[in-house]
Amino acid sequence: MVSAMKLDISLAPKFLDQDACASIWQRHDAYIFECPDFGEHPNFYPIYRHGDLYSFSILPLIAAKGELKLNPDFVSLNMAMGADVARPNPTIDSEITRIGGKTVLDQSITDRGDFVARFAAAINQDIADTCAANPGTTNVILCGGKDSLNILLADWNAPVIAYSAEPNFPLVQKFVADNGIDIEVRRLDDIDPGEGLTREIAEASCLVDLENWKWTAHLKQIAEDLDHQVVFWKGQVADAFLTDYWRSYTSSRSGKYKFFKKAYRKLAQTAPGLVDPFLARQAVADMEQAVWERAAVGQGAHLGMLRSICNALFLSVYHGPNAYDVMRRVNFRALSHEDIRPAIGAALLGREVRYPTENPAPPASRFRTGLRTTRHYIDALNSFGIKT
């Protein structure tokens, strides 16, 4: 009989009182947390619950209880054709729930200068707080488009390295040179994970097609090279708040509805006064739902998956407690009718920023196509000795 693969996860829970629950996404010091009442209601960073046990990823909780209770509701809701991103709930295990809920967008900030200044200050504050909570770590910034390029412009008072994948890698190098930023840029490669692919399948829990969750093996190698004394930073979902993308962003799975939203966005670019009075309120309601139903899974849960595999903290610079509190207050019609990220970059750098004129998308991972099936998932759990 072939022995099970080793799952390098500590299953010893760390006890937290209710006031300390927010620390789950401030430091990486445990895989499982015990708390009688979590108390928090996160809407981007994943927190999964089984009884009094919590984790940032589904797999540690399944490993702790030793078996998967396959949830037929998850399979029927999320594994159908076209459902590229699963809903936060139900999860693939009928005994595990993701806690949290949709965000509240109060749109209370209507002055552009006020928003830009407050948002830049909030980003710097969250970075400073994270660095203080994780002394001695290196900050690794994963860069591509404007959302993540602006992270390079923040006030870093700790060691920083940037990584970027092709085809953006030379563009990020030029961005750093053009703007006089003293940060080394290294290339991020989508290397073959080998046996590590089994762990990726188990961690992904059929939430997305793994071909869209790339570079995991190289990120794991980077974390190991830095002895796991590292915080990885990404720029997540900011374009939905800081450009006119808010008009078309939706978690609807209806092709007709998504086409309608794109048509509304395109028309509003030339005639906002004609369509926004009738459609903007629904667009904001869609945003509130989509941040929870789509972004929190496709991008938020990805941070939990990477954190578990790499044994290191992964954060979005736009979802720290200060930055997100400002970002969710942006008044879309007043401020996000155009791209305000260059203004935010200028506030961070202290002068006008020169951005690349293109933002090419990296290809899907060739190692990870066709793996989002319950059969692959069950086989991956079985290989770690987890019953199903």
Residues of the chain above pLDDT 90, percent: 85
CATH of residue 210: 3.40.50.620
Q: What is the pLDDT of residues 195-235, one digit of tens each?
A: 999 999 999 999 999 988 999 999 999 999 999 999 999 99
Residue 363: pLDDT band (50, 70, 90) is confident
Q: Show the domain range for 218.
A: 112-349
Q: Looking at the structure, do residues 285 and 255 belong to the same domain, yes or no? A: yes
Question: Can you tell me the mean pLDDT for 52-56?
Answer: 95
Find, among 34, 56, 47, 8, the residue nearest to 307 by Cα. Answer: 56
Q: What is the pLDDT of residues 292-327, one digit of tens each?
A: 999 999 999 999 999 999 999 999 999 999 999 999
- How far is 218 from 224, CA to CA, in rounded Å? 10
Question: Is the pLDDT assigned to residue 1 strictly greater than 50?
Answer: no
- Residue 262 forms part of a structural domain: yes
- Residue 140 DSSP symbol: E
Q: Is the separation of the CB atoms in 40 and 21 below 8 Å?
A: yes
Question: Is the pLDDT assigned to residue 3 strictly greater than 60?
Answer: no
Q: What is the pLDDT of residues 24-51, one digit of tens each?
A: 999 999 999 998 888 777 789 999 999 9
pLDDT at residue 4, as a whole number: 67
Helix axis angle for 374-383 and 196-204, nearest 10°, is 120
Residues of the chain above pLDDT 70, percent: 98
Helix (H) or strand (E) holding 185: strand 184-188
Q: Which residue type sits at 245? A: Y
Question: Can you tell me the mean pLDDT for 345-361?
Answer: 94
Q: Looking at the structure, do residues 95 and 71 belong to the same domain, yes or no? A: yes
Q: Which residue type sits at 127? A: I
Q: Helices marked H in the chain — which ranges?
A: 58-65, 72-78, 112-133, 146-149, 169-178, 196-204, 216-225, 238-242, 255-268, 272-290, 302-310, 321-327, 332-335, 341-349, 374-383
CA distances from 255 to 93, 250, 292, 357 (A): 29, 11, 20, 30
Q: Is the separation of the CB atoms in 187 and 164 below 8 Å?
A: yes
Is 291 or 338 the better-scoring residue by pLDDT? 291
In whole numbers, what is the pLDDT of the chain averaged over residues? 94
- How far is 166 from 365, CA to CA, in rounded Å? 12
What secondary structure does DSSP assign to 286-327, as a single string? HHHHHIIIIIIIIIIIHHHHHHHHHTSEEEETTSSHHHHHHH
Q: Looking at the structure, do residues 227 and 153 belong to the same domain, yes or no? A: yes
Q: What is the pLDDT of residues 64-95, one digit of tens each?
A: 999 999 999 999 999 877 689 999 999 999 99
Which residue shows structure tokens 């710097």? 124
CA distances from 154 to 9, 129, 339 (A): 33, 13, 19
In whole angstroms, how large is the CA radius of gyration of the chain? 21
Question: Can you tell me the mean pLDDT for 92-118?
Answer: 95
Q: Looking at the structure, do residues 309 and 210 belong to the same domain, yes or no? A: yes
- Residue 375 forms part of a structural domain: no
Q: Looking at the structure, do residues 32 and 149 belong to the same domain, yes or no? A: no
Q: Looking at the structure, do residues 67 and 214 belong to the same domain, yes or no? A: no
Find, among 300, 229, 203, 232, the residue nearest to 9 by Cα. Answer: 203
Residue 23: pLDDT band (50, 70, 90) is confident
Among residues 103, 126, 149, the one where a domain terminates is: 103
pTM over 0.85, yes/no: yes
pLDDT at residue 42, as a whole number: 79
